[in-house]
Amino acid sequence: MAEHNELGRKGEEAAVTFLKKKGHRIVERNWSFSGYEIDIISEDKEFIVFVEVKTRTSSVWGNPGDAVDERRMRRMIRSASHYLKINGIDKPARFDIVTLVGNERHFELDHVEDAFLPFL
């Protein structure tokens, strides 16, 4: 496995652990639709949460969350809409971003709840 893929996998594991500690129930991981993957789908008491995880070894090139651009948001929203429809979910949705900077031994984690609103 390529080094960056391994780092991404470790970052996603750390994000799952963090979300569980916050009371989220992990529903899906790496769910895909129409060529786009949602990293984590979880539920908390109020929302079904669609989470994009971005992991980097450093922030020298900026915040990893900046990689979640408008195009990525639109694709995530479309995928989430499809997920809600095919699963008959009537719970409000939220879009979060989890960024991790570091290495597989130690990450600085930032969780942005309600990072963007659905738009189409």
The whole-model pTM stands at 0.88
Buried b / exposed e across 49-81, counting CB within 10 Å, b at 16+? bbbbbbbbeeeeeeebeeebeeeebebbbebbe
Which amino acid is present at 18? F
* Average per-residue pLDDT for the chain: 86
Dist CA 23 CA 111 (whole Å)? 14
pLDDT of residue 112: 92
pLDDT at 33: 84
Q: 93-103 and 36-43 as β-strands: parallel, antiparallel, unpaired?
A: unpaired
Q: Would you state the pLDDT for residue 64?
A: 60
For 77-98, write each residue's pLDDT tens digit.
999 999 999 999 989 999 999 9
> What domains can you pick out in the chain, each with its CATH number?
10-60+72-102 (3.40.1350.10)
pLDDT confidence of residue 3 = 58
Residue 70 confidence (pLDDT): 87
Those residues of the chain that have pLDDT short of 50 are none
Structure tokens at 45: 């008491």
